[in-house]
Structure 1
Amino acid sequence: MTEEMNLETVGSYNEGDRVTGKVTKIEDKSVTVEITGAPFDGVIPISELSSLHIEKAEDAVAEGDELELIIMKVEEETYVLSKRKVDAEDAWDSLEEKFNNKVTIETEVRDVVKGGLVVDLGVRGFIPASLVEDHFVESFDDYKGRMMTFKIVEMDKEKNRLILSHRAVLQEEKSSKKEEIMDSLKEGQVLEGTVQRLASFGAFVDIGGVDGLVHISQLAHDHVEKVSDVLKEGDKVNVKVLSVDRDAERISLSIKDTLPGPWEGLESKAPVGSTLEGTVRRLVSYGAFVEVFPGVEGLVHISRISHQHIGTPHEVLKEGQQVNVKVLDVNPDEKRLSLSIKDLVEKEDDSNTSYGDYEMPEEASGFSLSDVIGDQLKKFSE
């Protein structure tokens, strides 16, 4: 080849030109490439092989690979080439389209670094630790090499900045699933769920990708003081859908309504004439409500509290008091239970009843009270 031809050929390849080359030799820190139509070979420094840091050139290419390259510099009988710049130029256009259309990208995690994960999308993509999952992750060591899906959340070509998020993909999936579940829910439906979180006012239960609230009043038929007394996180429970507010995305659930009612089979537990022990829960003007089973209260009418006449139940009873009661009537369908306290208490002997401070004299036997009083008044007047 003459010098004139060589210069002419060299002159047709300028800095910034794209060329096609074939890898002919790989060393630790560089790759030799035979460029189609060029008078001499080119070299790719290891720093120009990939947007990611690599320890050896063979980690990025293999002998015989056909590569698209950019001429960075023309030196004496050598072209300094870059594969990284070609990859980046091609990648940015594709990435911008994916970003604008909110397309999900699936790729391999190439490295785990301080603060997050790194992927190679033609340009280096970074996933901050806070955007990897929708929950706290102690260590990302086993994420390297894992195939994952991402959304681009930030990109700046001028600064070569590309930020991605796997959490955004998860949230989008959950949102879509939540809408689907919300649309399928119907009042009265009974589902299985998992207790996710306890609060002072109730428990949040996951029913397949969406959480509903079981208010503390809907946990059991009897009174619940603390939610943690009856539930713990992770418990599997059956729940009934009470209401669905699709606009506010609120679901009200009940565990209580899936449990056997306290009034079911009450005739066998509390037959008429039987004696039960109960607790006075409420006092009203017409009687006292006594709880004999969890969630079952019966009424002791004021006339069935004491053999003696009383003005109000408060005269002889107090809330929280333990009492024995006799079952007078049971009506589970109407949830009515009639009880008596006085039927279990012997009536006091009133044969020696006194009237005020005056005691009936023995000689008054057989006389009426008016006769006795009249006779005594006559004695006093004399």
Structure 2
Amino acid sequence: MSENANDFPNLQVGETVKGQVVKIEDSQVLVDIGYKTEGVIPLQELSNLFVKDMNEVVKLGDELTLIIKKVSDDEVILSKKAVDADNAWKDLEEKLANDATFDVTIKEVVKGGLVTDVGVRGFIPASMVETHYVEDFSGYVNQSLSVKIVDLDREKNRIILSHRAVIEQDASQKKAELLDSLAQGQVLEGTVSRITDFGVFVDLGGIDGLVHISQLAHEHVDSATNIVTEGEKVKVEVLSVDRENERISLSRKNTLPGPWDRLEEDIHAGQVLEGIVKRLVNFGAFVEVKPGVEGLVHISQIANRHIGTPQEVLKVGQKVNVKVLDINVQDERLSLSIREIEEEQEAKEFKQYEKEDDHTSFQLGDLIGNKLDKYK
């Protein structure tokens, strides 16, 4: 108890004073504010957050700005959290107005989210922590997170913060920068993020592009899952960029060696190949002799007799033997013939028949000669 009837003359409730921490007790902090008796900061006036150890909030010798909460003859009650809160609200209102991003340290995990100290109690709801689901938030305590203010109400003492908004803003900015950097013909590496019936979506590092199923490989593709798997790294070429609608068309096929590359090393004129009839047109048939390599059998080369349409002899999906008449790798043209194989086969059979006929005539002559010798 002080010796004077009033140890704190001239002090008024609501007034701001400065003081130095001289003692830290279990439930209060004593502060020298220039009077014989120290001012008192009760535990509940120290911080807007739950305090386990007051030494984590203040230390001996700290110079503090405080607001007077109560004055009696022998005691003055001070508040640090009131000053912190007043300064914090002004700062938070400015941050909200500027849509600012700032860092906070997570102090607690509570039901429904995370708590941080921004001069007042700030709350990050669970749904606003990450862009993905988080099962256990315990690892966030004492960690730093970049946040934005999504709701601020001083009357209700409510500050809602979001780390997810920062992540999404960064992703959006990165996406815009990536879109601006893309150009037709550019070759990039990406990751297969999703497979559909009509193609594959490839993550280029913040934005997805579509590889249509027709652009997956040089050969016909029935299912994209036969070519790639989710998570696989692939090289793709940019076909087109629609920046307004954020659509990117890609090709995997264009980054692969073409089926016609160095084809002349495997195929040459006069060679007989097995192929599959892929298409029938008025002027002939297209036959695939290697994956992605089709040659034309002109209607005049389909049979060794006159035909009105290719359909008279061939059908799609039929396996046929064809002879290479000419190959032009540069123009990707391959001329084929079925007729020449048939003609060669007929000529071979005819020669075999003549050989057999000559042999039969020779044997018949010997037989007749032997019989005539009997009558001599």
Smaller-chain TM-score bracket? 0.7 to 0.9
Do the aligned residues in 1 keep the contact of 2:322 with 2:338 (CA within 8 Å)? Answer: yes
Q: How does 1:187-336 map to 2 (within 5 A)?
A: 187-336=184-333
Q: Which residue of 2 aligns with 1:347?
A: 346
One-letter identity of the residue aligned with 1:63: L
Q: Tell me, yes or no, if the aligned pair for 2:201 and 2:211 is still in contact at 8 Å.
A: yes
Secondary structure of 2:147 counterpart = strand
1:24 is aligned, of 22, 25, 29, to 22
Moved more, 324-333 or 56-65: 56-65
- Contact kept? 1:46, 1:56, Cα under 8 Å: no
- Report deviation, 1:107: 2.2
Which segment drifts farther, 222-231 or 205-214? 205-214
CA RMSD of aligned residues (A): 2.3
SS at 2:37's partner residue?
A: coil
Compute the displacement of 1:207 (Å). 2.3
Deviation at 1:2, TM superposition (A): 9.8
- Tell me what 2:42 maps to: 45
8 Å Cα contact 2:21-2:32 kept in structure 1: no
Give the C-alpha shift of residue 231 in structure 1: 1.3
For 1:249, the aligned partner's letter is E
Q: Which residue of 2 aligns with 1:118?
A: 115
Tell me, what secondary structure is at the counterpart of 1:117? strand
* Deviation digits for residues 114-136 of structure 1 (CA, Å, limit 9, x no counterpart): 32222111011111222222233
Deviation at 1:305, TM superposition (A): 2.0
Secondary structure class of the residue paired with 1:111: strand
**Structure 2 residue matching 1:10: 3-state secondary structure:** coil
Distance in 2 (alpha carbons) for counterparts of 1:32 and 1:192: 61
Q: Tell me how far 1:298 sits from its aligned partner.
A: 1.0
For residues 335 and 136 of structure 1, the distance between their equivalents in structure 2, rounded to whole angstroms, comes to 53
Residue 157 of structure 1, CA deviation: 0.8
Alpha-carbon distance in structure 2 between the residues aligned to 1:72 and 1:94: 23
Residue identity matched to 2:211: V
Q: What code does the residue aligned with 2:262 have?
A: G
| SS of match in other structure, 1:181 | helix
Report the equivalent of 2:368: none
The percentage of aligned residue pairs carrying the same residue is: 56
Q: 1:2 to 1:64 in 2, by over 3 A?
A: closer
Q: Tell me the amino acid that sits aligned with residue 243 of structure 1.
A: S
Q: Is the 2:2–2:74 contact (alpha carbons within 8 Å) kept by the matching residues of 1?
A: no
Structure 1 counterpart of 2:49, which letter? L
In 2, Cα distance between equivalents of 1:64 and 1:262: 80
1:362: which partner in 2? Answer: none
Asked if 2 retains the 8 angstrom alpha-carbon contact of 1:240 and 1:257, the reply is yes
Cα distance in 2, alignment partners of residues 311 and 19 from structure 1: 108
Measured at CA, do residues 88 and 98 of structure 1 come closer, stay the same or move farther in structure 2, by a change above 3 Å? same
Please tell me the residue identity of whatever aligns with 1:176.
Q
Q: Are the structure 2 counterparts of residues 96 and 302 from structure 1 closer, same or farther at C-alpha, using a change threshold of 3 Å?
A: same
Contact 2:213 2:224 (8 Å CA) reproduced: yes
Distance 1:288 1:228 in 2: 31
How far has the Cα of 1:77 moved from its partner? 2.1
The DSSP-based 3-state class of the residue aligned with 1:178 is helix
State which drifts further: 337-346 or 93-102: 337-346
Q: What residue is the counterpart of 2:183 in the other structure?
A: 186
Among candidates 145, 155, 168, match of residue 158 of structure 1: 155
**1:39, distance to aligned residue in structure 2 (A):** 4.5
Q: Quote the offset at 1:11 in angstroms.
A: 4.4
1:131 maps onto 2:142 in alignment: no
CA pair 333-2 structure 1, distance change in 2 beyond 3 A: closer
What is the aligned residue count? 347
- Partners in 2 of 1:176 and 1:233 — Cα distance? 25
Question: Which residue is equivalent to 1:15?
Answer: 13
The answer (yes or no) to whether the contact 2:33–2:39 under 8 Å persists in 1 is: no
Cα 1:229–1:47, aligned 2, differ >3 Å: closer, same or farther?
farther
Q: How far is the alpha carbon of 1:6 from its aligned partner?
A: 4.4
Residue 8 of structure 2 aligns to a residue whose secondary structure is helix
Closer, same or farther in 2 for the Cα pair 1:50/1:305, shift >3 Å? Answer: same
Task: Name the amino acid aligned to 1:27.
Answer: E
Task: In structure 2, list runs of 5 or more residues that go unmatched.
Answer: 351-376
Report the AA paired with residue 25 of structure 1.
Answer: K
CA-CA distance at 1:94 after TM superposition = 0.8
Between 1:238-247 and 1:34-43, the stretch displaced more is 34-43
